A and B are shown apart, each in its own frame.
Chain A
Amino acid sequence: MATIYFNDALRLAATSLLDAGLPHKSKVRLIRDVYGRLRFALDCPLADYPLAGLTQLQQAQAALGPYATSAEVLSHDSFSDPKAVFGSTDWHRTLVALGADEDGAPLGIAEVQLLDRQITGQDWLRPPLECGAAHPHRFVFFGLKGGVGRSTALCMTAWELAKRGLRVLLIDFDLESPGLLGLLLPTHKGAEFGVVDWLLEDAVGQGEAILPRMVAASPLSETTVGAIRVAAAMGRGDPDYLAKLSRAYADVPGVGGPLRMGTRMRTMVERLEAQEKPDVVLIDSRAGLHDLAAVSITGLADTALLFATGGAQSWIGYRQLFSYWQHRPDVAQHVRERLLIVRALTPKSDREAIVRTFQRNAYELFSETLYDELPVGQAAADVLFHPGEKDESAPHFPILVDWDARFQEFDPMLRPEGGGATQAQIDGAFGQLIERLLSRLEGDDA
């Protein structure tokens, strides 16, 4: 028998559910455990499921070899509170590619109900439950890697929006690289406490008390009509940041079960919003496929700005992320219209060709993953989400942020003659970004 690896297990399990003889298919689900092993789970009492079907499932489960958690096929009888287990919001309609037959012809896609129990990363699949709650528009700035000018773009955005009279709240989720927002807030002007402090104090019931002491005004907004309020990762002169960071992601016991990091971060953002009453919120997300990025992109963002540079390698990570969502259509539908791709550090030389290639790659990526598949030879019907390649408001249509040496080690506090930037230079590099964000904000008002 061929060795079964992680990549095969879900496909084999899904294939066995296609058997025409299997009774009550709609009752049969799959639970994948923290090691990646699988069990069938019957959404009914064991006695209500035909014995022949049960035997069939037991055999299929045994055939998964090391990727079967145990011999037991789960049912309502396996749990004390089956309603909670089978009613969990972590179940997702999941599409599984069935591979190819001996001639290489694709075998299609099966749909299963999957409860994926993971060690980390659960938040990539956890869109907020209460979509209707009113809150200011949240822009999340994300990059798969650092060094693409994400934080600089975020600072310039905050400044430009404040110049237009908006009250901007900036929250730093990049806890592993504190201080990146120094452009807006020199360390000695920071607030007494940071985001990391809130996570610790909240765990012992004191989150509320430090909330007013974790936001500081950026000196940049002394000359703007609007305000820039900054909640930094770290408090002013923190004597023990690493000791806090190493505890920040703990789950905290709550009345209705443990409060996970994602839930806690959401609570913190909502409370900061209630306190600061901003017109717009900018969140600096941690780079890479980290849990904090998952919380901010899936759980918080009204718009997630995905920073990328050219070259095939910058698409690999996004393709992985997008196809992960693609296989959970409910999550994909929630997330996809909130995304905007940013072409960062766009060079001046050969610009037109570079931008064209980037745009093409971005369109292909979205078309093949998150956009609805179009019937052959037809344009998108109203029910399908598939913007055209040239649609300038579409998620794939890149926002260009220019590479400009001036902004590499930039101090916005300096006047242009001392190494600062003129308004024209700022508009040149970040104008498109600001305009796209403003039009998203206007879309909210409409």
Chain B
Amino acid sequence: MQIPLRPLLITSALLLAVFVLSMGVGSVSIPPRQSIAVIWDALRGQPPGGEQAARLRVILLTLRLPRALLMAMTGAALAGSGCAYQGLFRNPLADPYLIGAASGAGLGAVISLTASWPSSNLSYLAVPLSAFAGALLAVLLTYKLAKVGGTLPITNLILAGVAVSSFSTALSSFLMINASGELRRALVWLLGGSTMAGWKPVIGLLPYTAAGLLALSAMAFRLNVLQFGDEQASQLGVNVSHSRSIIILAATLSTAAAVAFSGIIGFVGLIIPHIARRLWGGDMRRLMPLSLLCGAVFLLAADILARVLMAPQELPVGIITALCGAPFFIFILRQSRQEVW
């Protein structure tokens, strides 16, 4: 495999640009050069030069930087797991949202959000774990429902995913209505508005995302082989059930962590791998890292829009991804007659 240097460089540069831009946007707008300078000083441990710089440092370090990191990681996690699900189910419509993983994670998270925990640190631990359990249950249920003999027909997968999604969403709503005090917080969170500010969600998300996405990157070449069906994959030397379990676990872990800390954000996992596949071909060893980068870029950009459009009010970022994502998806479906799957 040639190392895909150019697309990697382009997407990385794009990510850097959006990242810096994202830190500048808000009630106090900070020019890119200044935010870089302030963070650079802080990293070198230098005291801020003046009152203005001290104020900016507080804003950047306690609010903007963690927010941008959270969005970038969430976007990468969603796009990476979408890429894996699409490859695994050999289905361009499989994304964390459509196959029920996100809603399952949502249900798991709502259960532990509405429960009363003795300490908030414990809830930071419990929310992602119960989201993971919910997501895993939902994916396995969808898979079991959709499977006919040894095959996984596209329509079945989507129908089962919709059923599982609706069911877990309904349960989540029921729980939220019953838990009066937490209703608003849970609702905003569910729409993809990160109500949790600061470094805690970043630190909470990091280990899960890192573990899940590293595992997926290592599984990328097996995902390639799995594109040809279980039988051929096995004949090409891949232990199919073993690989599939690892991929489902890793993708679901990434999804669940993203949902637990950033809410349900649709369409990232669907669109990003799709665009990446059209641009750079189907080799998962290339597609996976590029999807991660593009997912981060997309969600950062959506988050900027969410903060700018109705400023000073902030929109849940899930609304933006759906608003850009759905029409764009319809557009690429209609525009291209060529089948990519």
**Are A and B part of the same complex?**
no
Where the two chains meet, the residues of A that have a C-beta atom closer than 8 Å to any C-beta of B are none
